[in-house]
């Protein structure tokens, strides 16, 4: 970074600080990962200078001979990796990929159905705060008290409302997505089934989560979660999708450009191609398997030590701890002080609020990339439980107006907590042994 250092000391210093934070802390946010140095290199290239509106061979600007090669490689690698006839690698991110699906197959006002945000679903699946519920008539389905999808409800809602599009996939769901069961319901009412595999794409590639390819018409994903690429999105159309509508690939392309986006981010496309190249290697399968082993080990150790896990465990890379009403935020703050990052999250049948929820969400993609295995997972579980003990006697005020002030005080108290400082030091020592970047 010699040029940034010379030219912009402020930004240089903050980037250094952030990289150090990532190096010295344990990252348990399940939507994050550590992209390889090769992926990061691709992002930092002059490809960012180029305008390439359109698609390979059909652009609105000249000078595309190399960009076309890059995008074609990304497209072909995506198709090969997932075993599908069509892919679009231009979505700026997962949310845009999802919007493009709506634009491709729905008319404004059409009925769509997705998993509610408080039940683990994503904003873009029709949540009330998302534009998707302003433009479409969004029906939301839920999970049962045990954290599993409520198929009685899903089937009843689908039959009653006959949505044009059904989303399967979520952002905080610890069990395998039953794509086949969703397909049966969608096929019965003639709906499009769209699998949003943002979180589990890497697990599917590694063969440790069922693939939606035989069941869904369209598949969307982010490239930066378990797939371990740069930030970005991708859309796939399956054979089943092309059978339902032979024009589906073209419709998706048109929805991304010109309907929603302008020029693709060519540096990002190159980085996606590099990441897909990595995911095609046998070592990626080993990585995916280890993510699951680590998640199951972490979950078991947490439960053995008395933590209450939603759904009593996990099938994938993530878990949810039920910390007690409104206590998720306290654990998030205290763990942050101990060098362990995760995020507060709602739990099924949430009794607090989304801003002060009762749970935390954590996962193993990042720590697995660093090479950590079962013994380190057990250590992390012990640290989490020690931190939980430190916050035991603290309680979020019932009165909502007092909460933000209380949290400020809580932060100050936690900053002075010797136990948290000690854990932070131990975390740092462990992280040195498993560098994020060598």
The rounded distance, in Å, linking the Cα atoms of 37 and 41 is 6
Answer whether 272's CB lies under 8 Å from 38's CB. no
- Contact between 130 and ligand PLP by CB under 6 A: the answer reads no
Could you tell me the smallest distance in angstroms from the CB atom of residue 101 to ligand PLP? 11
Residue among 122, 164, 209, 361 that touches ligand PLP (CB under 6 A): 122
Q: Which stretch binds ligand PLP (CB under 6 A): 39-47, 65-73, 92-100, 185-193?
A: 92-100
Chain centroid to CA 21: 21
The answer to whether 266 is a known catalytic residue is no
Six-digit token pair at 251? 């419709």
The rounded distance, in Å, linking the Cα atoms of 334 and 296 is 24
Could you tell me the smallest distance in angstroms from the CB atom of residue 198 to ligand PLP? 3
Nearer Cβ to ligand PLP, position 199 or 327?
199
Work out whether the CA dihedral 268, 272, 277, 278 comes out positive or negative.
positive
The answer to whether 150 is a known catalytic residue is no
Considering the candidates 175, 225, 240, 403, report the single residue annotated as catalytic. Answer: 225
The answer to whether 243 is a known catalytic residue is no
Residue among 95, 130, 253, 345 that touches ligand PLP (CB under 6 A): 95
Judged by CB under 6 A, the chain residues 145 through 174 that form the site for ligand PLP are: 169-171
The answer to whether 53 is a known catalytic residue is yes
Place of tokens 């009843």: 156
The answer to whether 231 is a known catalytic residue is yes
- Contact between 366 and ligand PLP by CB under 6 A: the answer reads no
Residue among 54, 94, 147, 328 that touches ligand PLP (CB under 6 A): 94
Query: CA end-to-end span of the chain, whole Å?
Result: 16
Task: Report how many residues bind ligand PLP under the rule CB under 6 A.
Answer: 14
The DSSP element (H or E) to which 381 belongs, if any, is helix 374-390
Distances (CA, A) of 153 to 149, 178, 184, 206: 9, 15, 14, 31
Six-digit token pair at 351? 């009794």
Considering the candidates 24, 27, 119, 196, report the single residue annotated as catalytic. Answer: 196
Considering the candidates 132, 220, 222, 238, report the single residue annotated as catalytic. Answer: 222
Question: Backbone dihedral region of 162: left (phi > 0), alpha (psi from -120 to 50 degrees) or beta?
Answer: left
Nearer Cβ to ligand PLP, position 150 or 196?
196
Q: In terms of C-beta distances under 8 Å and separation of at least 24 residues, what long-range contacts does 280-285 make, across chains too?
A: 280/77, 280/80, 280/81, 284/202, 284/205, 284/206, 285/205, 285/206, 285/207
- Contact between 198 and ligand PLP by CB under 6 A: the answer reads yes
Nearer Cβ to ligand PLP, position 77 or 122?
122
Residue 253: which residues within 8 A CB-CB, separation 6 or more? 55, 88
Could you tell me the smallest distance in angstroms from the CB atom of residue 55 to ligand PLP? 21
- Contact between 64 and ligand PLP by CB under 6 A: the answer reads no
- Contact between 199 and ligand PLP by CB under 6 A: the answer reads yes
Give the per-residue contact string, 208-237, with ligand PLP (x = CB under 6 A; - = no): --------------x---------------
The rounded distance, in Å, linking the Cα atoms of 303 and 308 is 6
Considering the candidates 12, 32, 50, 51, report the single residue annotated as catalytic. Answer: 51
So which residues are the catalytic ones? 51, 53, 196, 222, 225, 231
Question: In the complex, which residues of this chain contact ligand PLP (CB under 6 A)?
Answer: 31, 93-95, 98, 122, 124, 169-171, 196, 198-199, 222
């Amino acid at each position: 970074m010699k040029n940034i250092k010379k030219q912009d000391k402020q930004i240089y210093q903050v980037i250094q600080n952030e990289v150090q934070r990532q190096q010295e802390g344990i990252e348990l946010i399940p939507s994050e990962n550590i992209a390889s140095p090769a992926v990061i290199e691709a992002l930092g290239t002059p490809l960012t200078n180029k305008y390439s509106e359109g698609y390979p061979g059909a652009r609105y600007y000249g000078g595309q001979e190399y960009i076309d090669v890059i995008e074609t490689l990304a497209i072909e690698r995506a198709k090969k990796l997932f075993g599908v006839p069509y892919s679009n690698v231009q979505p700026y991110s997962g949310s845009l990929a999802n919007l493009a699906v709506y634009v491709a197959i729905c008319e404004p006002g059409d009925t769509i159905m997705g998993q509610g945000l408080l039940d683990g679903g994503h904003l873009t699946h029709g949540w009330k705060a998302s534009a998707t519920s302003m433009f479409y008539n969004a029906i939301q389905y839920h999970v049962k008290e045990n954290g599993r999808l409520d198929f009685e409800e899903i089937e009843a809602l689908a039959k009653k409302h006959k949505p044009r599009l059904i989303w399967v996939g979520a952002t905080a769901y610890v069990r395998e997505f039953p794509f086949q069961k969703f397909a049966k319901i969608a096929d019965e009412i003639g709906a499009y089934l769209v699998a949003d595999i943002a979180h589990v794409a890497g697990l599917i590639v590694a063969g440790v989560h069922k693939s939606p390819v035989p069941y869904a018409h369209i598949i969307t994903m982010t490239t930066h979660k378990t797939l371990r690429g740069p930030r970005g999105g991708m859309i796939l159309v399956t054979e089943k999708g092309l059978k339902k509508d032979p024009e589906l690939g073209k419709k998706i392309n048109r929805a991304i450009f010109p309907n929603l986006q302008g020029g693709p981010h060519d540096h990002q496309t190159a980085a996606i191609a590099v990441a897909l190249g990595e995911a095609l290697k046998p070592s990626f399968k080993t990585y995916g398997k280890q993510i699951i082993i680590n998640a199951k080990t972490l979950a078991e150790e947490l439960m053995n030590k008395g933590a209450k896990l939603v759904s009593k465990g996990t099938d994938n890379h993530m878990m949810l701890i039920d910390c007690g009403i409104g206590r998720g935020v306290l654990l998030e703050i205290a763990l942050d002080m101990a060098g362990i990052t995760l995020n507060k999250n709602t739990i099924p049948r949430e009794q607090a609020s989304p801003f002060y929820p009762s749970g935390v969400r954590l996962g193993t993609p990042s720590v697995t990339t660093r090479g950590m295995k079962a013994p380190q997972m057990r250590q992390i579980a012990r640290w989490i439980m020690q931190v939980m003990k430190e916050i035991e006697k603290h309680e979020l005020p019932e009165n909502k107006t007092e909460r933000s002030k209380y949290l400020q005080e809580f932060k100050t108290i936690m900053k002075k907590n010797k136990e948290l400082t000690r854990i932070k030091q131990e975390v740092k020592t462990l992280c040195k042994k498993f560098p994020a970047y060598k």
